[in-house]
Structure 1
């Protein structure tokens, strides 16, 4: 079977949309439809039903999907293994990373990388850390550079690159700003703006608070730390942000017994071959400690 057709089939199945699949594969929607039509003719079964605006797998599509995933993963593993045979580091490296890491941590590493290995085609995707881990598990990405989960995920190897201590912050005009010490009970009486509850960072913060019997009053949640910084700075609520983001627009609170911490680092699938481009990136990341 044509691996490009299988890739189109998997993307449409995962996104339930021809349009989103075309965007992810950097193709036109007619090109996606053409590849799927060729695949359907080859196997003799219709793979999708269109119901209104929804795209649903047929029984044949659902049966084919796990085999298509394994076939593409096997081909990708072969490509990665072959890339190790040559002394020259080249080929494609697909990475998922969060906006925060991509803006604040990765640029110096990637600058060195593209200078030292110009023959590597970096395929960089910005997404939530949780989605990047899922994409690595599914074989859509080779690596994630992410906020590491509280508990290790099955089939994911990981390594800490940047310890990332967090701090409670408010606007300088907040009622708690300027106090020498703040109790958690006092903090809980004021509204908070925090990372979305589905994020690893939110889970880290909430676990720390729950261990001390405190439940935050969340006024607003978003995945973007830069947005949270702005919301806290204008006085919408207190927040928890990386210490590295604190500047004159924020006031750091000294909260008794509350020192949340997260780790930023890499993840990769334990059952997949490591390509040459991924190997040298892991070496560069290990040097950034």
Structure 2
């Protein structure tokens, strides 16, 4: 059973003859007759009573008619949806962003995209990079920005920029010189991303360095959000780490001081998508806007800091 057969059947019933159905479908009358014949043969049932001036349905034809109409309507609706998506007159863009997206000029991403493509629905998911990578791999979102490293082998990874990770303290003496991983492990630490812990990409880099140095990093306090960690550091409770993009944010409290690691540490921000799965046009456009925002941050980071 094909859509062409069902279209011929529905048109013949509505217009009352194979000739009128052929004109409506812009095909030969013989083609309509053949489509109906094959459909009847497949169903092993007559669908029309022939011989009268106007076709009339048999009991089998009347039974088939509502299902045929539903099938055609569903196919047409699917065609319209895909066509709308291709023209960005509809569809849905699904994209994962860094949980601290605002620090990378991504806060206005949805507004910018919506102004350009107001008919497209947007699903923007902000979460830890480990979770974003898993969601892309599972097909829950199409693509996203992640901090490397991530473990998903079925992803295509395109690095976009490096953001230096800095040590942060309220005590200026602690940041007078670059800090070694051994010194870092001895400090009273307030680390964020508590849920993912050492699965977090930045923390994974620190853990690898600590292992090579023969030390263990054990934070005094673990919480979820970097903003909360910085407030605790400002209160003198402990020290933490941040990406350099955060330094110009209002979330970075006054009176805090930073230092590089003795062996500089960097977050590599990358674009990730699933291997072998083409992106919808809407998501490609959203990804391009996100990459443009990251490029702008990269340009700002290249400027000397005052």
Confirm or deny a common fold (TM above 0.5). Answer: yes
C-alpha contact 2:163 2:244 (8 A) present in aligned 1: yes
Name the counterpart of 1:160. 159
Q: Tell me, which stretches of 5 or more residues in structure 2 are unaligned?
A: 1-77, 296-306
Tell me how far 1:152 sits from its aligned partner. 5.8
Cα separation, 1, equivalents of 2:201 and 2:256:
23
| TM-score, length of structure 1 as denominator length | 0.62
Post-superposition offset of 1:181: 5.0
CA positional deviation for 1:104: 4.3
Aligned counterparts, 1:218-237, within 5 A:
218-237=219-238
For residues 61-76 of structure 1, the aligned pairs below 5 Å read none
* 5+ long unaligned stretches in structure 1: 1-77
Q: CA deviation at 1:285?
A: 3.2
Q: Distance in 1 between matches of 2:115 and 2:168?
A: 38
Task: Select the structure of larger CA radius of gyration.
Answer: 2
Alpha-carbon deviations, 1:64-88, whole Å to 9, x = none? xxxxxxxxxxxxxx99x94597333
Higher helix share: 2
2:182 touches 2:213 (CA, 8 Å); kept in 1?
no
Aligned residues: 207
Contact kept, 8 Å, 1:91 with 1:120, in 2: the verdict is yes
Q: Using a 3 Å threshold, how does the CA distance of structure 1 residues 203 and 178 change in structure 2: closer, same or farther?
A: closer
Question: How far off is 1:254 after superposition?
Answer: 4.8
Equivalent residue for 1:120? 120
Equivalent pair of 1:83/1:91 in contact (CA under 8 Å)? no
Mark the CA change 1:273 to 1:82 in structure 2 (over 3 Å): closer, same or farther: farther
How far apart, in 2, do the equivalents of 1:267 and 1:281 lie?
13
Matches within 5 A, 1:82-121: 82=82, 86-102=86-102, 104-121=104-121
TM-score, with structure 2 as normaliser: 0.59
Cα distance in 1 for partners of 2:279, 2:104 equals 26
For the 8 Å contact 1:96–1:132, the answer to whether it is kept is yes
Do residues 253 (structure 1) and 254 (structure 2) align?
no
